[in-house]
Structure 1
Amino acid sequence: MNETWWKEAAVYEIYPVSFMDTNGDGKGDLRGIISKLDYLKDLGIDVIWICPIYESPGKDNGYDISDYYAINPEFGTMEDFDDLLQEAHARGMKIMMDLVLNHTSDQHPWFKESKSSTDNPKRSFYIWRKGVNGLYPNNWESYFSGSVWEMDPETDEYYMHLYSKHQPDLNWRNEEMVHELYQMIRWWLEKGVDGFRFDAIAHIVKAKGLPDADNPQHLPVVRAYQLFSNLEKVHFMLKKLNEEVLMDYDIMTVGETSGLGPEQALEYVGDQRHELNMVFQFEHMTLDSASNGTGKWESRAWTLLELKKVMSRWQTTLHNQGWNANYLGNHDQPRAVSRFGNDKQYRVQSAKMLATFMLTLEGTPYIYQGEEIGMTNAAFDQIGDYRDVETLNYYEQSHLQGKPIDQTMQAIQAKSRDNARTPMQWDDGPQAGFTTGEPWIKVNPNYTDVNVASAIKDPDSIYHYYKRMLSLRKTHKALIYGEYKLLLPLDPDLYVYTRTLEQDTILVILNFFDDTPIMEWPKTLRGMSRDLLISNYDLPPDAEGDRIELRPYEARVYRLS
């Protein structure tokens, strides 16, 4: 067993534009993060992952970088960042940057040069092609709908963008461009950052020749993930990045790699691969999406049996071979308690249950800002209240296809990325204490009830439960390195598993729904003494019997001996 600091750490993701504003412009800033470092330290956080803060036109909330070496003035200055780094380190916390290596902004100097002429030296920093018989160079569909190709009338060629047309893809076959990225990464590491989350890293290599994807329905554009996601040469590129730069520093790395299972993940994170420390998997993020190819916007009911199957595969496959990155929400996903819990009657209980789940699995836990107080989906009624480019594109496409507006809005209320991007709810004052100005996106109306100030005052709050869980994880190494074993695999309501390290066994019991199922104590565990470590309910007197009636969204963690 290879013990290391990033396996034992708890990570807190900050979406800076929505975290804390100190200058009244309605957008969060670096000084705002600095002002909340003591709050994060008190919570029990070890690593702060900050979404992109680089110079950017903001067409995709900072994931369109125009200068890798500069801080977006909306967030502050490089001096502010240096202060943040110093202040975090002084408190024993580390800073992980969010870095986009698949694409840049169309305002990046490289791209401006690249599009200036077909023979510019930086032309091949990006992916350019001529059209074919008046059509796009191929039939690939963008993640944000429409073609991945955008015509540049000045040079009469198309450039590729897997995401927005304002985010042209870099050409990783160009060694000069790759070398420039290496230099930039080393510059940040020399400054003292403690790791990177590599955005869309699975897409940096595209299929040779950029062939058309299969298109049985003869659509204008089709999903072609198999031609630009997780291709074999990605591993060559990551090994080289490790050898040339990353291995010289004691840092943590996590990759965003959609569309793979745990066996494929080991190709990225296997102990002997020397590529990444961990990857974010997306299998559990698609359980509530229709499986008919219509994408994330068409929802379906997920089942606990499906969730157990997915999570158990990742837990068992990576054990002693790689490492998991565990999460239920982030800046690209709906709020966890609205998606996997009950954000109405049982918001507090279900948020605590989900915290128990995430913090007792093998892998590094990632907490998204506001999860620790049980923030919920905003579910705005008007499309004008949304800001996310993906959401707005979906609304426009749905309108063109003649879908009913109420059906479209229902999908957006459930799945829009803006659900996670509303301002952090600090108190019950104006704009939830986030800003003295007008926020860039509306505050969730429930901030008067759901906010940090009231959570800190309430000893039974979700916030204090997170503190206890994070402390518990640090106290029991079995919750970090212990082997996961699923119990009651066919139970449709209860998720029960053990974490075992040498002679230390931890039992986790989770009721994922609002009913009251009876759990028969597993025969293999009878006769062992039970020490209740934590629960999200006060336990009744008969809690130690062999037949346990669980209450809605109940969570219990026992130490067995």
Structure 2
Amino acid sequence: MNTIKLFVLGLIAIFSFYSCSDDEDDNWQEIPNTEITPVSKNNNVIYEVNIRNYSAEGNFKGLEKDLPRLKELGVDILWLMPIHPVGEKNKIGTKGSPYSIKDYKAINPDYGTDTDLKSLIATAHASGIKIWFDWVANHTAWDHVWVGNHLNFYASKNGVRPYSPENWSDVIQLDYKNADMRAEMIDAMKYWVESFDIDGYRCDAATYIPLSFWHEARTEIDKVKEITWLCEGDNASYMQVFDYDYAWSFNTALNDFGKTNNISNLVSECNKLFSNNAYTNKGRMIYLTNHDLNAYDGTEFTRYGKNVLPLTVLSFTIYDMPLIYNGQEIGMDKVMGLFDVVPVVWTPANNTYNDLFKKLTQLKRTQPALEDGTNRGVLKVYPTNNEDIFVYSRKRGTNEVITMLNLTDHSIKFKFSNTTPLGTFRDYLKGGNQDFSLQTEIELPANGYSIYVK
């Protein structure tokens, strides 16, 4: 009976979302995000939080206070960058990298206490938001607690133990040939699931670590709780264990587009993303920016210029789970390095960005065509009479989402060529109904975008 009630309530919510008579179009509004749950477990939006920069307090309490806003924004998952104490030896900057871990079973005192973290997680869960931890398993800080007692946990190179991998001078490489170290790592990962009830791990540099370890870790942690696993990497063989990975090469293609504005190449990369059969039953994370890109390559405005908004629309509609990095949703153009406190500037917020992100999270979470993985909606690119326009569809069953992007700095009028979307669509952002034909002339402003839903 409860299942039937939930199903009926879901239908009512979806009907309310779409129902609107033609004479009401001028006043058309979507229902608030607080009333929406994703149509499936594969319709989630993830939000990355750098605790030290997110709030004025720079701690768990500062984030917890903002959970109502994140709920309204339409966030389903909060990925917390590492919450552990940062190493002091060979530290970079005033605070050091959060990826230089001093103790896997402790909390950075700057962020708060065990009680503060448990309160954050409980409040997030009560709001329907999941908490994922960032887990750094490849390396530790030079002064990690293992260095004094278990130096054999660390790898050697050219007779030197320990050593820094990849020229990362503030960390040292662990040795995954050491079974005792692997067992201690899994024990630490289990601790946060058992004691703090977290819901997932984003695994840093996951493909640097043998796949066999991740098999062991997931097998053991599944005995405690079945959580979700995100791999930082794009090696499809790791999807034997992981649920999501980074669509890394696609992000590289987006950055290349930012330099060349070659729309034909962008379309080709979108098709390539869909043609990778290794991900038929698994998900990928799509992103314009994250902590690494922001820190080392500049903000999305540096990389994409005036096309930030249309590419934001693309990131939510082209494929799988979209990522929002803290401050991205308000259009903040600020580099936040990893080694110092560089707070997000929340005011004034750019309402164009803020409003669009709310609409896009709602779209992602309510359209079956935008699901990830097994139920991923198919992609169709529609040809037009203007090569500077990119029009594509995501379709699953009777649900279809049409996205139109003008990736130039001038207004463009265009028509479909050869084929058109079939049926009546609702203009998702402006309201009103639309039927398309080969004679229909559509206009998009410079760096503009439209979304239509059936």
Please say whether Structure 1 and Structure 2 have the same fold, judged by a TM-score greater than 0.5.
Answer: yes
Q: CA deviation at 1:188?
A: 0.8
Corresponding residue SS for 1:499: strand
- The answer as to 2:264 corresponding to 1:305 is yes
Q: Which residue of 2 aligns with 1:462?
A: 353
**1:491/1:52 CA distance change after superposition, 3 Å:** farther
Per the TM alignment, residue 79 of structure 1 is displaced from its structure 2 partner at its CA by 1.4
Q: Report how far residue 289 of structure 1 moved.
A: 7.4
Once the 2 structures are TM-superposed, how far is the Cα of residue 526 of structure 1 from its aligned partner?
Answer: 5.6
**Corresponding residue pairs, total:** 399
For the pair 1:494 / 2:389, whether they are aligned, the reply is: yes
Deviations 1:279-317 (A, max 9, x none): 113224434879xxxxxxxx9535333333333322332
Q: Percent identity?
A: 25
Check if 1:277 corresponds to 2:243. yes
Deviation at 1:351, TM superposition (A): 4.2
Structure 2 spans left out of the alignment, 5+ residues: 1-37
Distance (whole Å) between structure 2 residues aligned to residue 527 and residue 179 of structure 1: 56
The equivalent of 2:97 in structure 1 is 61
Which position in structure 2 is the counterpart of 1:360?
A: 317
- The equivalent of 1:173 in structure 2 is 177
| 1:245 lines up with 2:245 in the alignment | no
8 Å CA contact 2:316, 2:360 repeated in 1: yes
* 1:316 lines up with 2:264 in the alignment: no
Find the aligned partners of 1:489 and 1:162 in 2 and give their Cα distance: 46
Partner of residue 327, structure 1: 287
Alignment partner of 1:52 is 2:52: no
The aligned residue for residue 45 of structure 2 is 10
Check conservation: 2:84, 2:98, Cα contact below 8 A. yes
Residues 98 and 198 in structure 1, CA contact (< 8 A), matched pair in contact too = yes
> Alignment partner for residue 126 of structure 1, among 137, 154, 161?
154
TM-score, with length taken from structure 1? 0.65
SS at match of 1:505: strand
CA distance in 1, matches of 2:163, 2:391: 50
SS at match of 1:523: coil
Give the drift of 1:488. Answer: 3.5
Q: How does 1:65-214 map to 2 (within 5 A)?
A: 65-113=101-149, 122-130=150-158, 159-190=163-194, 191-204=196-209
Q: Is the contact made by 1:314 and 1:324 (CA closer than 8 Å) also made in structure 2?
A: no
Is contact 2:76-2:130 (8 Å) kept? Answer: yes
Does the CA-based 8 Å contact 2:46-2:78 persist in structure 1?
Answer: yes
State how far apart, in whole Å, the 2-side matches of 1:300 and 1:285 are. Answer: 13
2:187, 2:423 → 1: CA distance? 56
Q: Does 1:268 align with 2:242?
A: no
Structure 1: gaps (5+ residues): 23-27, 114-121, 132-150, 152-156, 205-233, 291-298, 343-349, 379-385, 390-417, 428-450
Residue 34 (structure 1) aligns with: 64
Tell me if structure 1 keeps the 8 A contact 2:274–2:379: yes
Q: Where in structure 2 are the equivalents of 1:453-532 lying within 5 Å?
A: 455=350, 461-480=352-371, 481-488=376-383, 493-525=388-420, 528-532=423-427
- Give the 3-state SS of the residue equivalent to 2:291 in structure 1: coil
* 2:346 aligned residue (396, 403, 426): 426
SS of the residue 2:192 aligns to:
helix
The alpha carbon displacement at 1:462 in A equals: 1.6
- Partner letter of residue 555 of structure 1? Y
> Cα offset for 1:124?
2.5
Root-mean-square deviation (CA, aligned residues, Å) is 3.0
CA distance in 1, matches of 2:323, 2:207: 20
Deviation at 1:559, TM superposition (A): 2.5
Q: Which has the higher helix share?
A: 2
Q: Is the 8 A contact 2:155 2:175 kept in 1?
A: yes
Structure 1 residue 10 displacement after superposition: 0.9
Change (3 A) 1:158 1:33: closer
Q: Distance in 2 between matches of 1:303 and 1:196?
A: 36
CA distance in 2, matches of 1:357, 1:532: 16
Q: What's the TM-score, normalizing by structure 2?
A: 0.79
2:29 corresponds in structure 1 to none
Distance between the aligned counterparts of 2:414 and 2:317, measured in 1? 20
- Please give the alpha-carbon distance, in whole angstroms, between the structure 2 residues aligned to 1:196 and 1:125: 22
C-alpha distance in structure 1 between counterparts of 2:288 and 2:262, whole Å: 15
Query: What is the match of residue 548 of structure 1?
Result: 442
**1:411 corresponding residue in structure 2:** none
- More relative contact order, 1 or 2 (CA 8 Å, 6+ apart): 2
Matched, 1:21 2:56: yes
SS of 1:196's equivalent? strand
Write the letter of the residue equivalent to 2:105: Y
